[in-house]
């Protein structure tokens, strides 16, 4: 889809490219919903399988859908959970669907395309992602061929089960070989979907390979469809891939970094744990009008971190989400500036951060 297009959803339209903060079970970690609403965050991504396990469909249905349950004013995207296949110890996949096992409760849920459609209809998300089969990086060619066929079959069922007021997105698989990606793109585009995700990327492959697959796959999708790159949302990727035509991004990037003490700024990431901030009475970012920068200096924040005060997570997450909002506006309206800012993010050390479970 072209840059600066709009995605019309039942709860209003969203300007693209957009960044979706992660709200696995409906809520953004560490930030209450009234604050998310106040920040005018337009859309969140939740995981339909996690919601099935907890709080469960009965509660979601009784509150009239996910917005009634959480109190969020914006739009929800829901993931089908296919990506979880990558954590092989937790799932089993066959031609019928995926069996997910919840780590905490040990509860197993079998999700078929039909079940996934029903769950997401009950959740009443504004955009529902189809169930897909996502093999791990390094899997044999044969496995990717199976995934393309299987994802197509699942997509056929999912796309036929339409739901009023809900957009439904297909997912293009095909691994890292062009012919297979092309095949998957052709198959998925032949079905009735409202948009497409390019799946099976950023799963451990080198960046050059991600870039190559995206460069070749995006042009295969007709321009009227929004394109979603799931699980990707750092400033560099957003700038680079939105230029290729990707319109929707999501990631735990701002929230997870906040929990690890990294604040995102126009000058790049700031590690608030660093001792040099102990005598810095300025805010995280000068000129930032977020609640955190209005009331807290870096020295105060560092002190909260040191004392393991739970408000630290809230405060830094609020700033980071505010940063992402400003950054996305820049991506839409001032690409030169966005590109310059993104470059300052190339040096962040994520090794310790990446170990933590996503979501």
Which among 126, 132, 250, 322 is annotated as catalytic?
250
The yes-or-no answer on residue 250 being catalytic is yes
The least CB distance from residue 31 to Zn ion, in Å, is 13
| Cβ 237 to Zn ion shortest distance, Å | 22
Report d(CA 216, CA 244) in Å as an integer: 10
> In a 3-state reduction of DSSP, which class is residue 183?
helix
Q: How many residues does the chain have?
A: 359
Q: In the complex, what is the shortest distance from the CB of residue 326 to Zn ion, in angstroms, rounded to a whole number?
A: 9
Distances (CA, A) of 298 to 11, 70, 260, 325, 348: 37, 32, 15, 21, 19
Cβ-contact 182, 145 below 8 angstroms? no
What does each C-alpha distance from 26 to 40, 327, 343, 346 come to in angstroms? 16, 24, 32, 31
Judge residue 277's burial from the number of C-beta atoms within 10 Å of its C-beta, 0-12 exposed, 13-18 middle, 19 or more buried. buried
Query: Whose Cβ is closer to Zn ion: residue 163's or residue 266's?
Result: 266
**Residue 329 Cβ, how far from Zn ion at the closest point, in Å?**
15
Binding site residues, Zn ion, CB under 5 A: 288, 290, 292-293, 319
Residue among 178, 71, 184 nearest 132 (CA):
184
To the query of whether residue 234 is one of the catalytic residues in this protein, the response is no
Closest to Zn ion by CB, 199 or 283: 283
Provide the minimum distance between the beta carbon of 38 and Zn ion in the complex, in angstroms, as a whole number: 14
| Closer Cβ to Zn ion, 176 or 253, answer by number | 253
Q: Which two tokens stand for residue 249?
A: 């991004």
Phi, psi of 345 (to 5 degrees): -100, 5
Q: 145 or 297, CB closer to Zn ion?
A: 297
Choose, from 79, 132, 194, 234, the residue flagged as catalytic: 79
DSSP letters spanning 79-133:
E-SGGGGGSGGGEEE-SS-EEEE-TTT--EEEE-HHHHHHHHHHHT-SEEEPP--
**Closer to Zn ion at the Cβ: 157 or 266?**
266
Catalytic center residues: 79, 250
């Amino acid at each position: 889809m072209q840059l600066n297009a709009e995605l019309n959803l039942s709860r209003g339209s969203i300007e693209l490219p957009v960044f979706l903060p992660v709200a696995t079970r409906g809520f953004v970690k560490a930030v209450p919903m009234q604050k998310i609403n106040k920040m005018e965050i337009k859309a969140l991504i939740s995981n339909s399988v996690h919601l099935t396990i907890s709080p469960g469909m009965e509660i979601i249905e009784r509150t009239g859908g996910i917005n009634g349950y959480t109190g969020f004013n914006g739009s929800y995207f829901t993931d089908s959970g296919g990506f979880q296949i990558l954590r092989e110890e937790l799932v089993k996949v066959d031609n019928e669907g995926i069996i997910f096992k919840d780590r905490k409760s040990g509860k197993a849920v079998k999700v078929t395309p039909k079940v996934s459609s029903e769950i997401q209809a009950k959740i009443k998300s504004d955009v529902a992602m189809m169930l897909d089969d996502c093999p791990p990086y390094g899997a044999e060619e044969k496995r990717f061929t199976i995934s393309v066929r299987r994802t197509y079959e699942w997509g056929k069922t999912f796309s036929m089960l339409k739901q009023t007021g809900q957009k439904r997105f297909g997912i293009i698989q095909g691994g890292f070989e062009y012919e297979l990606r092309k095949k998957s793109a052709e198959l998925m585009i032949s079905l009735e979907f409202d948009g497409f995700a390019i799946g099976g990327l950023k799963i451990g492959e080198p960046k050059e390979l991600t870039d190559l697959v995206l460069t070749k796959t995006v042009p295969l999708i007709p321009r009227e469809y929004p394109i979603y790159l799931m699980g990707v949302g750092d400033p560099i990727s957003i700038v680079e891939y939105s230029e290729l035509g990707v319109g929707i991004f999501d990631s735990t990037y701002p929230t997870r970094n906040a929990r690890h003490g990294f604040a995102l700024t126009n000058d790049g990431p700031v590690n608030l744990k660093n001792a040099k901030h102990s005598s810095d009475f300025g805010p995280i970012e000068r000129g930032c009008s977020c609640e955190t920068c209005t009331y807290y200096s870096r020295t105060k924040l560092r002190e909260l971190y040191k004392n393991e005060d739970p408000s630290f997570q809230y405060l830094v997450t609020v700033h980071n989400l505010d940063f992402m909002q400003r950054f996305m506006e820049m991506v839409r309206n001032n690409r030169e500036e966005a590109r310059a800012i993104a470059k300052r993010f190339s040096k962040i050390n994520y090794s310790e951060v990446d170990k933590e479970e996503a979501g």
